[in-house]
Structure 1
Amino acid sequence: MSINAKHLATFILGAAAGVAAHKYLQSEEGEKLLEDLKTKANNLKAEAEGAMDKAPEYFEELKTKGADTLKSSFPDAENFFKELYDKFVGSKGGAETATPANTPTPDPIS
């Protein structure tokens, strides 16, 4: 791979930007900027950890309120899903009884 003028110019500009950033961050204003960034990052981290602690409670409340809303808005929904489940399990149960008696039953995976 050959190095052409474009690659060389890009490298020089990148190195110059790095030197300028280093000089700026060594100044008093740059140190203040770093301290502000560290403070904001720590606040964001604490907020995220708090949200993680509250997540199980939030989802439990969401599940409860969602179920209550579904029951109040669609009173027949519970029976519908129960019948749908019974049909699904019933069709699988019927297929299991149709298997020959001499077929070995596999051991369940624990």
Structure 2
Amino acid sequence: MSVNAKHIATFLLGAAAGVALNKYLQTEEGEKTLADLKDKASQLKTEAEGAIDKAPEYFEKLKTEGAAALKEQFPDIEKFLQDLMGGIKPTTGAEEVK
């Protein structure tokens, strides 16, 4: 891969942006912005951990309420699924599929 003027310009632009960001973060306003970002990241982490803790009970509730709603809307769904699944013959893997 050859390096052309476009690559050099992109590198220089990135380096200049990095220097500018470093200078900004060393100011009082930059330090405040960085502290705000750290606080927000901490809040998001706490929310994510809470969501992970609640996930099993949420999915269990979804499973039971979803099954009840499905049975309510489609009363014959259990028979239909049993007929459908009963018609499928399991393969052992040793059989050749034609």
Interval containing the TM-score (normalised by the shorter chain): 0.7 to 0.9
Please state how far the C-alpha of 1:81 moved relative to its aligned partner: 1.2
| Number of residue pairs matched by the alignment | 92
Of 6-15 and 54-63, the range deviating more from structure 2: 6-15
Aligned partner of 1:40: which letter? K
**Gaps in structure 1 of 5+ consecutive residues:** 97-105
1:49-107 deviation line (CA, Å, top 9, x unaligned): 11111111111111101100111111111111122222324xx5xx99xxxxxxxxx9x
Superposition CA RMSD, Å: 2.5
The structure with higher relative contact order (CA 8 Å, sep 6+) is: 2
Correspondence 1:88 to 2:94: no
Please state how far the C-alpha of 1:7 moved relative to its aligned partner: 4.2
Q: For residue 88 of structure 1, give the secondary structure of its aligned residue in structure 2.
A: coil
Give the alignment's TM-score, normalised by structure 1. Answer: 0.70
Identical amino acids, percent of aligned pairs:
61
Aligned partner of 2:43: which letter? N
Q: Could you tell me which residue of structure 2 aligns to residue 43 of structure 1?
A: 43
Give the alignment's TM-score, normalised by structure 2. Answer: 0.78
Aligned partner of 2:73: which letter? S
> Higher Cα Rg: structure 1 or 2?
1
